[in-house]
Amino acid sequence: MPPRRVLLTIFSLSLLLHLYIGQRLLASPNGPGWQLAVLLVSSLAVPSSLLLRGMKSPLLADALSWVGLVWLGLFALTLSLTAARDVLLVLTWPFMPSRRVWLSEFSAQSVLWLVPMLLLVGLFNARRVARVRRVDIVLPGLPSEFDGFTLAQLSDIHVGPTIKQGYLARIVRAANALDADVIVITGDVVDGSVRRLAAQTQPLAELTARHGVHLVTGNHEYYSGAREWIAEFRRLGLTVLENSHVVLRRGAASLVLAGVTDYSAGHFEGGQASDPCASLAGAPAEAAVRILLAHQPRSAPAASAAGFDLQLSGHTHGGQFLPWNWLVPLQQPFVAGLHRVGRLQVYTSRGTGYWGPPIRLFAPSEITLLRLTRA
Task: Compute CA distances 58 → 21, 73, 162, 199, 256, whole Å.
Answer: 33, 22, 12, 13, 41
Q: Output the pLDDT for position 52.
A: 64
pLDDT at 195: 94
Strand partners of residue 254: 249
Output the pLDDT for position 32: 54
Residue 11: the pLDDT is: 83
In one letter, which amino acid is 4? R
Collect all residues with Cβ–Cβ distance below 8 Å to 372 and sequence separation of at least 6.
Answer: 137, 139, 142, 146, 147, 148, 149, 150, 151, 289
DSSP secondary structure string for all residues of 262-291 = -TTHHHH-GGG---HHHHTTT--TT-SEEE
Per-residue pLDDT tens, the chain, 375 aa: give them.
556 787 788 888 888 998 899 888 876 545 555 666 777 778 877 777 666 666 667 777 778 889 889 989 999 999 999 999 999 999 888 877 778 788 888 999 999 899 999 999 999 999 999 999 999 999 999 999 999 999 999 999 999 999 999 999 999 999 999 999 999 999 999 999 999 999 999 999 999 999 999 999 999 999 999 999 999 999 999 999 999 999 999 999 999 999 999 999 999 987 789 999 999 999 998 998 999 999 999 999 999 999 999 999 999 999 999 999 999 999 999 999 999 999 999 999 999 999 999 999 999 999 999 999 997
Distance CA 335, CA 330 (A): 10
pLDDT of residue 49: 67
Enumerate the β-bridge partners of residue 183.
152, 213
**What is the C-alpha separation between 320 and 188, in angstroms, rounded?**
15
Class of domain 131-374: alpha beta
Q: Please list the alpha-helical segments (H only) found in 26-141.
A: 34-49, 58-92, 100-127
- The backbone torsions φ and ψ at residue 238, rounded to the nearest 5 degrees and listed phi first, read -90, 145
What is the domain partition of the chain in residue ranges? 4-127, 131-374
Give the C-alpha distances (Å, rounded to integers) separating 232 from 54, 78, 159, 199, 281.
Answer: 22, 39, 14, 11, 25
pLDDT, residue 271, reads: 79
Return d(Cα 54, Cα 226) in angstroms, integer: 19
Return d(Cα 189, Cα 353) in angstroms, integer.
Answer: 9
Residue type, 74: L
**What's the pLDDT score for residue 55?**
65
User: With the C-alpha atoms ordered 204, 205, 206, 210, is the resulting torsion angle positive or negative?
Assistant: positive
Rounded to whole angstroms, the Cα distance separating 64 from 240 reads 33
Q: What is the pTM of this model?
A: 0.93
- Name the nearest CA neighbour of 188 among 256, 114, 245, 263: 263
Confirm if 316 and 353 have CB atoms less than 8 A apart.
Answer: no
The 10 Å Cβ neighbour count of residue 223 is 15
Pick from 360, 370, 236, 266: nearest CA to 312: 370
Residue 192 bridge partners (DSSP): none
Q: What pLDDT, on a 0 to 100 scale, did the predictor assign at position 59? A: 76
List all residues 6 or more positions away from 126 whose beta carbon is below 8 Å from its beta carbon: 354, 358, 359, 360, 365
DSSP sequence for 316-358: SGGG-STTHHHHGGGT-S--SEEEEETTEEEEE---SS--SSS
**DSSP assignment, residue 146?**
G
Q: Reduce the DSSP state of residue 366 to 3 states and report it.
A: strand
Which residues, in sequence order, are bridge partners of residue 257? 246, 291
> In the Cβ-directed half-sphere of 167, how many Cα atoms lie within 13 Å?
19
Given this model, what pLDDT does residue 113 score?
92
